[in-house]
Structure 1
Amino acid sequence: MKLTIIQTGDVPASLRDQFGPYRRMFETMFDATGQGFTYDMVAVSDGAPFPDPASLDGIVITGSAAGVYDDLPWLNPLRAFIREAYGRRTPMLGVCFGHQIMADALGGDVRLSEKGWGLGRHTYRVKSRPDFMRTAPQSLAVACSHQDQVITPPKEAEVFMASDFTPNAGLVYHNGAAISFQPHPEFDDDYAIALAELRRGKAPDEVVDTAIASVAKRSDSGEVAGYIGQFFKGR
């Protein structure tokens, strides 16, 4: 199965030499599932044309420094792409900004949260267990890096993962072929720490310090990646 990575942002320039391009994080994550995925990448934030969703096996919409409310030329075409993919039931995953723009395109409300920065490893309650994650435990700890949040999910979606900080952290859609996550299962610990440190001066020091300390707790990113792999393989 080929996963088409719709790249809407990249690793910050100051971290790219150390951690590489963003697409590599997703490829590494999916390779570790052992599902034998192959990959294509379309950098829509750099002006690359959108592919036809009908021609794709699976879609991954990445994180981004952009917000859904920004005035960027590729955002409305991305919304149209999401709606067409959703209508065609092309398997689709959104992560962080991808989670937010999917919700926005399909009728939800996404905004800059009054809660501020979510950084480091957050723990999320598993509220329900869709078919692809039937074996999930009661909670999952995954790295995050965001200010924006899905405030109101689309009517087409149900929340399956939540925390007090991020009540709508995981969405599963009624067409049976779309899921999204606010946190980043593709981040390794070193990158999560470096990204939190990069926010110092933008986020309060205490938030950054807590985020860095939180990475010491066990990560469930590998398990989440496995669930995502099962989602795509099951479509």
Structure 2
Amino acid sequence: MKIGILQTGHSPEDLYEPFGDYDGMFRGMLDGKGFEFQTWAVVDGIFPDGPQDADGWLITGSRHGAYEDHAWIPPLEDLIRAIHASKQPLAGICFGHQIIAQALGGKVAKFEGGWAVGRVTYQTQDGPLTLNAWHQDQVVELPEGARVLGGNDFCRNGILAYGDHIISWQPHPEFPSAFVGGLIEKRGRGVVPDEVLDRAAAGLDAPVDNQNIATFLAEFYRKERT
């Protein structure tokens, strides 16, 4: 099964050598599960011809806002709507979570409550799920047909689904905790309040549920759909 990665951002230059780029983190996350991958760096204007170019799709995180004026965002929204119409499996992470909601009629905005950084626990029908987060933007209005699968008081729309073929997460199951530590030091200082960063840094050694999401995502892609 071929998974098309729609890359909407690049890893910070000073973290690239130890951790690689965003698409590589997802390849590593799903390594050994029988998938082949192709990346289209849509952030650089490189797009597939259409949904038929892969069997399933994944949209990465990004430093950009879904609501910002970039030439590559409208065609990405068009592609999301085409994938949705084709009923192919699509997963979105952070920016991917947000741009899917926006493309389908929802609203994304900077959250007045500030930033989520580091380990965050979301309540789901299957119990608590703890993942690393790094965001201020949130989905603040749901599109028609969206179902909330998980969230918390800070981020109520933390995990969304559409039909049985689209799922998205606001947090980052692909981020190892060491990468979040690098973001805290290389990208966060001077942007995110120090008390938020310090609290996140203090919890980086605690476990997260990345592997559970990797298993779930592999099963999601392979699921038989009507």
TM range (shorter): over 0.9
Superposed counterparts of 1:135-174, under 5 Å: 136=126, 138-174=127-163
Q: Among residues 105, 112, 117, which one is paired with 1:107 in the alignment? A: 105
Q: Which residue of 1 aligns with 2:43?
A: 45
2: CA distance, partners of 1:214 / 1:44: 33
Q: Which residue of 1 aligns with 2:52?
A: 54
* Corresponding residue SS for 1:76: helix
2: CA distance, partners of 1:21 / 1:162: 27
Cα offset, 1:54, TM superposition: 2.6
Q: Which residue of 2 aligns with 1:27?
A: 27
Q: Among residues 91, 104, 117, which one is paired with 1:119 in the alignment? A: 117
2: CA distance, partners of 1:55 / 1:27: 18
For the aligned residue pairs, the C-alpha RMSD in angstroms reads 1.1
Q: Deviations over 1:15-42 (max 9, x none)?
A: 11221111110000011xx421110000
Q: Among residues 148, 171, 195, which one is paired with 2:183 in the alignment? A: 195
Query: What is the percent sequence identity of the aligned residues?
Result: 42
Task: Name the amino acid aligned to 2:59.
Answer: I
Q: Does residue 207 of the first structure (1) align with residue 196 of the second (2)?
A: yes
TM-score (norm 1): 0.92
Task: Name the amino acid aligned to 1:156.
Answer: G
Q: Which residue of 1 aligns with 2:83?
A: 85
* Corresponding residue SS for 1:115: coil
Indicate if the aligned counterparts of 1:99 and 1:180 stay in contact, CA closer than 8 A.
yes
2: CA distance, partners of 1:181 / 1:145: 12
Q: Deviations over 1:43-63 (max 9, x none)?
A: 011111333103320000000
Q: Deviations over 1:64-101 (max 9, x none)?
A: 01111111000000000000100110110000000000
Indicate if the aligned counterparts of 1:62 and 1:94 stay in contact, CA closer than 8 A.
yes
1: CA distance, partners of 2:48 / 2:147: 27
* Corresponding residue SS for 1:15: helix
> Which runs of 5 or more residues in structure 2 are unaligned?
none
Indicate if the aligned counterparts of 2:94 and 2:172 stay in contact, CA closer than 8 A.
yes
Q: Does residue 181 of the first structure (1) align with residue 169 of the second (2)?
A: yes
Indicate if the aligned counterparts of 1:123 and 1:142 stay in contact, CA closer than 8 A.
yes
Indicate if the aligned counterparts of 1:145 and 1:196 stay in contact, CA closer than 8 A.
no
1: CA distance, partners of 2:214 / 2:111: 26
> Which runs of 5 or more residues in structure 1 are unaligned?
129-135
Q: Does residue 16 of the first structure (1) align with residue 16 of the second (2)?
A: yes
TM-score (norm 2): 0.95
2: CA distance, partners of 1:80 / 1:9: 18
Indicate if the aligned counterparts of 1:54 and 1:90 stay in contact, CA closer than 8 A.
no
- Count of residue pairs brought into register by the alignment: 223
